Amino acid sequence: MLNTQPLIATLPARIRVLVVDDSVVMRKILSDALSEDAEIEVVGTASNGALGLQRVMQLSPDVVTLDIEMPEMDGIATLREIKRQFPRTRVLMCSTLTERGAGISLEAIALGADDYVAKSFRPGEAANDFRNQLVPKIKQFFRHPRSGGSAPYTRDPVHPGFDRSVSRPVAVRKQTVRPKAVAIGVSTGGPNALAEVIPALPPDFPLPVFVVQHMPPMFTRLLAERLQAQSKLEVVEARDGMVVAPGCVYIAPGDFHMCVVRRGTRVILQTNQDAMENSCRPAVDVLFRSVGQVYGGATISVILTGMGQDGLRGVEFLHGQGAYVIAQDEPSSVVWGMPGFVVRAGYADSVCDLKAVAPEIIRHL
The pLDDT value given to residue 121? 63
What CATH fold (topology level) applies to the domain 15-155?
Answer: Rossmann fold (3.40.50)
* Whole-number Å distance between alpha carbons of 63 and 141: 9
Supply φ then ψ for residue 139, to 5 degrees: -70, -20
What is the pLDDT, as a whole number, of residue 175?
Answer: 53
Q: pLDDT below 50 — which residues of the chain?
A: 1-11, 146-152, 157-172
How much is the pTM? 0.87
Q: What residues act catalytically? A: 187, 214, 310
Q: What is the pLDDT of residues 7-18, one digit of tens each?
A: 334 445 799 999
Note the pLDDT tens digit of each residue in 238-293: 999 999 999 999 999 999 999 999 999 999 999 999 999 999 999 999 999 999 99
Q: Calculate the alpha carbon distances from 54 to 85, 90, 360 in Å.
A: 11, 16, 44
Sorted by where each begins, the domain ranges of the chain are 15-155, 164-363
Q: Quick one: pLDDT at residue 165?
A: 36
Q: Rounded to 10 degrees, what is the CA torsion of 236, 240, 246, 248?
A: 10
Residue 114's contacts (CB-CB under 8 Å, 6 or more residues apart) are: 90, 91, 92, 141, 188, 189, 334
Would you say the CATH fold of 164-363 matches that of 15-155?
yes
Which CATH number describes the domain made up of 164-363?
Answer: 3.40.50.180
